[in-house]
């Protein structure tokens, strides 16, 4: 059941389409994340949902009612910014209670709700009287979230709310946001540059490019079955092989001088040029030429520790290929060591070149 429905929505600035014909159903209670390169129109889309911009064309409906020109304050939506927009000279409690004060809720009731929200956001009750500027970055972020919940909106819109925080705190808050989403049953629409954030938290991810949504689906679908090369590359590092079909070798990669076994999509148009994309974590070191559908040889020339995983750069013909394996399976590759690396056809994505 969609809570918000966009039908062929455009936003033009002069002659430029920042959002270009988006049709999208946002489901009641879902966690939808919008990702895309800088300038792809994410914030503009969110601002239209918030009522801070009106579409130039198309319709936005909320539970079936047209809301194109309904201003922000008359919508059951709340936008949480990266900059937080907290009132600096007020206490944590006053910040959280602000939306309730605007609604003329009596002070005792406001305080009770603020304390409930502090608890929900895992801030100590004593913070109620603390000046908000004396809070840490992560605490301020929680206060901003508590204030957003105090509005009691049906839809919470987030514009990169965690981007200013350090890695560890981000990881904590990602999980907390996901829990809050589950507990509250509200609809979350979330913009981020962090693919990890999108993967961890979302029910669905929408990938934007040049004002359009190029793919929407569960994190697993988008990661494992990208619609095209752009989406595949956007979601993390990839190895790309250009291959062409010939009678003698079948699918042949000139770069690595090897013939490759591909799993073509069911709707393959018959093209004889293809791009094969394999994520580094689907690459493995092989002990025999038949261990995987595809095995190519090369020399290890770099090794990077990524914490729980190790990434190797292997020179195969003209190509530098990334192999990423869990630390527990790490091998001590000597510099310039000759190795075989391989992957199974089912773990690669094939696009028309």
* Residues written for the chain: 353
Cα-Cα-Cα-Cα dihedral of 156, 161, 166, 168, to 10°? 10
Spatial CB neighbours of 304, under 8 Å, sequence gap ≥ 6: 310, 311, 312, 313
Q: Report in angstroms how near the CB of residue 192 gets to ligand ATP at its nearest.
A: 9
Provide the minimum distance between the beta carbon of 43 and ligand ATP in the complex, in angstroms, as a whole number: 3
Q: Smaller CB distance to ligand ATP: residue 42 or 140?
A: 42
Residue 232 C-beta: closest distance to ligand ATP, Å: 19
* 278, 283, 288, 292 alpha-carbon torsion, rounded to 10°: -50
* Sites of contact with ligand ATP (CB under 6 A): 13, 18, 36, 38-44
Beta strand 155-159 pairing with 187-191 = parallel
Q: Which is nearer to ligand ATP, 12 or 331 (CB)?
A: 12
Q: Render 96-125 in DSSP notation, one character per residue.
A: HHHHHHHTT--HHHHHHHHHHHHHHTT--G
Structure-block tokens of residue 171:
């990881």
- Least CB distance to ligand ATP at residue 37 (A): 7
Distance (Å, whole) CA 158 – CA 42: 11
Residue in this structure with the two tokens 């809070």, named with its chain if needed: 135
Of residues 42 and 113, the one with the C-beta less far from ligand ATP: 42
| CB closer to ligand ATP, 38 vs 104 | 38
- Residue number, 105 or 216, with CB nearest to ligand ATP: 216
Q: Which residues pair with 32 in a beta bridge?
A: 189, 204
How many CB atoms neighbour CB 314 within 10 A?
A: 26
CB of 153 to ligand ATP, least distance (A): 21
Residue 105: both structure tokens together: 């809720």
HSE (side-chain half, CA atoms, 13 Å) at 29: 5
Buried b (16+ CB within 10 A) or exposed e, 252-291: bbebbebebebeeeeeeeeeeebbbbbbbbbbbbbeeeee
Neighbours of 69 (CB within 10 A): 9
User: What's the min distance (Å) between Cβ of 172 and ligand ATP?
Assistant: 24
Cβ closest to ligand ATP, residue 111 vs residue 212: 212
> What's the closest the beta carbon of residue 216 comes to ligand ATP, in angstroms?
16
* Minimum distance, C-beta of residue 55 to ligand ATP, in the bound complex (Å): 13
Q: Identify which of residues 13 and 87 has a Cβ nearer to ligand ATP in the complex.
A: 13
Closest C-alpha among 34, 350, 22 to residue 191: 34
Which is nearer to ligand ATP, 43 or 253 (by Cβ)?
Answer: 43
Q: How far is the CB of 249 from ligand ATP (least distance, A)?
A: 43
Q: Which residues contact 330 (CB under 8 A, 6 or more apart)?
A: 310
Based on CB atoms, which residue is closest to ligand ATP, 146 or 162?
A: 162
């Amino acid at each position: 059941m969609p809570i918000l429905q966009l039908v062929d929505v455009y936003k033009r600035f002069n002659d430029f389409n920042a959002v270009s014909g988006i049709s999208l159903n946002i489901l009641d209670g879902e966690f939808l994340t919008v990702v895309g390169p800088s300038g792809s129109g994410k914030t503009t889309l969110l601002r239209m949902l918030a009522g801070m911009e009106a579409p130039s064309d198309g319709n936005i409906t909320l539970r079936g009612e047209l809301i194109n020109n309904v201003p922000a304050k008359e919508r059951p939506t709340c936008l949480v910014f990266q900059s937080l927009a907290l009132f600096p000279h007020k206490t944590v409690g006053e910040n959280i209670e602000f939306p309730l004060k605007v609604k003329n809720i009596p002070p005792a009731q406001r305080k009770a709700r603020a304390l409930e929200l502090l608890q929900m956001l895992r801030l100590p009750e004593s913070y109620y009287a603390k000046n908000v500027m004396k809070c840490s970055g992560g605490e301020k972020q929680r206060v901003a979230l508590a204030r957003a919940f105090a509005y009691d909106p049906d839809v919470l819109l987030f514009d990169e709310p965690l981007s200013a925080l350090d890695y560890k705190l981000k990881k904590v808050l990602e999980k907390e946001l996901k829990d809050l989403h589950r507990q509250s049953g509200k609809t979350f629409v979330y913009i981020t540059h962090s693919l990890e954030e999108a993967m961890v938290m979302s029910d669905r991810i929408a990938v934007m490019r040049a004002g359009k949504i190029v793919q929407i689906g569960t994190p697993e679908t988008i990661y494992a079955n990208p619609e095209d090369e752009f989406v595949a590359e956007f979601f993390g590092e990839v190895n790309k092989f250009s291959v062409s079909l010939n009678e003698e070798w079948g699918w042949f990669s000139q770069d690595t001088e090897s013939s490759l076994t591909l799993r073509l999509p069911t709707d393959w148009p018959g093209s004889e040029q293809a791009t094969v994309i394999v994520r580094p974590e689907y690459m493995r070191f092989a002990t025999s030429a038949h261990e995987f559908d595809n095995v190519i040889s090369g020399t290890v020339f770099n090794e990077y520790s990524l914490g729980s995983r190790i990434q190797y750069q292997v020179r195969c013909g003209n190509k530098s290929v990334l192999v990423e394996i869990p630390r527990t399976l790490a091998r001590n590759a000597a510099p310039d060591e000759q190795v075989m690396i391989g992957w199974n056809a089912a773990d690669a994505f094939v696009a028309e070149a």
